[in-house]
Structure 1
Amino acid sequence: MPIDYSKWDKLELSDDSDIEVHPNVDKKSFIKWKQQSIHEARAKRNHDIANLETQISMYSHLNKRVDKLLSSVDDQSLAEKDNVTKFLNANFDKTEKPQGPNVDPEIPPFNEMVEDLFEQLEGDAKKQGLNPRDGSVIRSFVLGHRSRIDKVTVEAKQKLQELYKEKELHISSDDIKTGFDSGFMNRKANEEEEKKAADLQKVAVANGSKTTSDVPLPAPQLQFIEYGDDVMKLAPDTEEFGSLSVGDFKASEHFLLKHMQIISEQQKDALMMKAFEYQMQDEPKHAYQVIHQSELMGYVREIYNTKKIPFLHVGQMTEVIQLFFKRVIYNSANPAGKKSFLESVQSKFDHVKNRVKIIQQEQEQEGVETIQLKSLDESTELEVNLPNFESPNPEDKKKVEAFSKLPEKMKDAIKTKNLDNVNAVFAEIPIEEAESYLDLINEAEIIGVKALLENEEDFKHLQDEYRNQGRFEELTLEERSQEKQQAQPQEAVNTSDTVD
């Protein structure tokens, strides 16, 4: 039976141990950021699904009330607020209100929302110069509002279906179901727990306020700025915050109170990474500055995280910012908090400096390519030969001409006849320049090969070759050594003489 592995295509892994990152980015931090990005994207998706489900459910309840009003009440009664209120309370539960994890506990009941709508429509009629006491006018306004709700509902359902499909593409721990376990459930206790959970849900901390807008929705929740697709990306407001002076804490506090959405883990870390760029550009003052501002964001966000609110609650964040600056920064009676904060900034600044220093050293070692002269054959060595400056031979003159084109530093190294000195000059110059020097050296035949002969037989063989070429005089050994060899030919001689 073939095995279907397609279900594993839905796995969304957050640990990329083999990922390649920019040398300025710490690999462990990058993996942590990516893991966090996946989790936050998943949380946001679930959050959006819950909001849309609540929104669609709320529209359904409101439409029931509006439709029944339009079909059961005449025009004259529609223009009377008291009649509308009595009808709603007589036909629907006046305490029923939207339910959901992200719904403002202070949101008004459905009946009150409809009453507020009628008040708003009366105001709209006055603005257009129409009689708000004319029931037909109110009915036409209600029908127009009803069509807009239908349009928004269709769009919400389409978006919800897209989120459902996106959720199905990824497997998370929430999707794992136990297959073969059995157990006992106390139904009565379970019902009590559900009731408690529902009660707690009603009083859950959430953002928003009562509204009488054209479409009566719960107040939208603010979200922190998170660039999941680019962890290094900075929002313009974050960059501006990073440019504020280090000692001006009042300015930093006021800026954060006005731009709370930048206080996210991703923006804090991206601002910290900006310090590497400044330090690489030899701007330590700016590097320290952005680290300082990043730490302010980090301290505030750490305190806010203890509240376990998955979105930006303006009231709670305002309280956190003011509390941090009051008790940590401005607290002259107990300066330990501010001291600890500044020590943390200095520690991270030192880390950035050390890390940049290491990176620069690695780049210097790995990024420079040089030429070095070396023999690849163990039986030979390279030697440095000067051209014959006094020779009238045209070939020697060409060699002298090539030598004269070399820079003085290379000429001086060659005159020492030491290969190490020549290689030392090559090590100091770029590869392109070194190649041009090497062409001149080859033209002048400055670098030669010295053979190492390990026994007498090799020597005699080479000697015969040179004798045949009329160059025997260049290959004679010392006279004493040769006489000794002729006098004692029967003795085995083990030599390692070098022959030029």
Structure 2
Amino acid sequence: MPLNYSKWDKLELSDDSDIEGHPNVDKKSLVRWKQRAIHEQREERKHKIAQYKADIACNDVLKPRMQTIADEVAARGPPHFSALVEKFQTRPDPAAPPTNAPNQPTYDAMLLNLMLQVWEAAKARGVEKGDPKLGEALVAGLREHLVKIEEANAKLRVQLKKEEDEQNSKITSDDMHEGFDSTIVAPLSTPAPIKNAIPSDKPKKTVTEFENLNPKSAASEASAEEDETDLPELTPSLAQFSLIPIFQYDQAWEFIKAHRDVYVPGASDALLVAAFRAQSDGKNKYAKQCVHHSLLLQYCDKLGKDGPSVFFRKMVNRDARATGLFEKDVEDTYAHLIERVRLSKEEEPAGGAEQIQLVAENPETQISFNVPQGPPPEQLELEGPGFENVSVEEVRQALQMRWDVFTGFDENLQEAIKAESLEKINVALAAMPVDQAEETVKLLDMAGILSFAGPVRDETGRSSVATEDAEYDAEYEDEEEEGEGGSAAKAD
């Protein structure tokens, strides 16, 4: 097989024998002069090529504009020619050829110069202003310049080709370039997962559930526990990713390829948290975008190792089955989010603040209500065993204190006590501030209006109220029964 050495034809080689000079001039100086002459010729050739290209580009801009001017003057006559001259003189366009030459004239200035030459040529032929042949003379002059521009461009192209052929005839240092290179690029490190992300392989654990006898009162405690749990937050890249409009798969795919820290564990959860907060704040459009992008990442994760490329290939190509399924999932998930936000807002008034609720620890605990019917009577007598050493005034004071405590409560609590319903009392306590509710429970216990046969628990866990069936309460309960017309007390 013959070898082709033609690629070496353009290689210029020389040695000392190629340089002939005067014997009184040293050889090194002749070599340096020869090298300098070669480099000067190359620079001059580069300058000529750049100048030829600039002139051709400028003529390519002027030629169509000159053609338009000639056609308009032929149609509208000399007044249009004068109007264009005035425009180029008073309101010229600053556009100019892209050169670094000082005082580079603009395209309008060059057109003005050509039009003035046409006008002077018409006057030289004896055609003055007002002459009926002026329009024809102006159009003829313009078309002559068009021909000149075309001829000049043809000559410039010939000269440009000649110089470029000469430039490419020899291999120079400017033609040297890097053919190939081999480098080892270290693999990119795996981005860290989102902070507080819930791992997918989290071990399962047995959870014991307890029945809550008063779920409304426990809402505050559950809410506090949820608030204490750290939720995944948006990173700067995720926040920028969430601003991409929905269903813009091309834009989302390019962003994921450029930001590897978007497709990491916990990213979809962080977007759902952001969607819930945005929907709660009334930012419906942004909430739906977060839901959409969260599902994008979830679908990519479910499709395996090459999930992102597989998913976005179908989405970008608008696969009808795939896009329909995904977009329906987006709408359904967003509708579910709206419902969850609505329910959260409805539960917020009941569970958003701390409350005092009374719940008996033992289901068999007997709850007794001692509802006073009025103040103690004026004439009060105590009869029966066990009351020999009891003072009537002390009983009267106890009954009066119970009545004063009862009347000091608001109407809702009084109605709940009269109904002898612990649930209604809890409802009334829930409407009070915590401090006021605690003081109310103490008054109920002290006055003996509400008595438990065992301990009572505050469901919020903030305070513990224990009401015991003490002898003091039993004594006053008996005294009240006697004072209100029981078998042991008489009222005169």
Please classify the TM superposition score into its range, dividing by the shorter chain length. 0.3 to 0.5
Q: Could you state the TM-score of these two structures normalised by the residue count of structure 1?
A: 0.35
Rg bigger for which structure? 2
Query: Relative contact order (C-alpha < 8 Å, sep 6+): which is higher?
Result: 2
Q: Could you state the TM-score of these two structures normalised by the residue count of structure 2?
A: 0.36
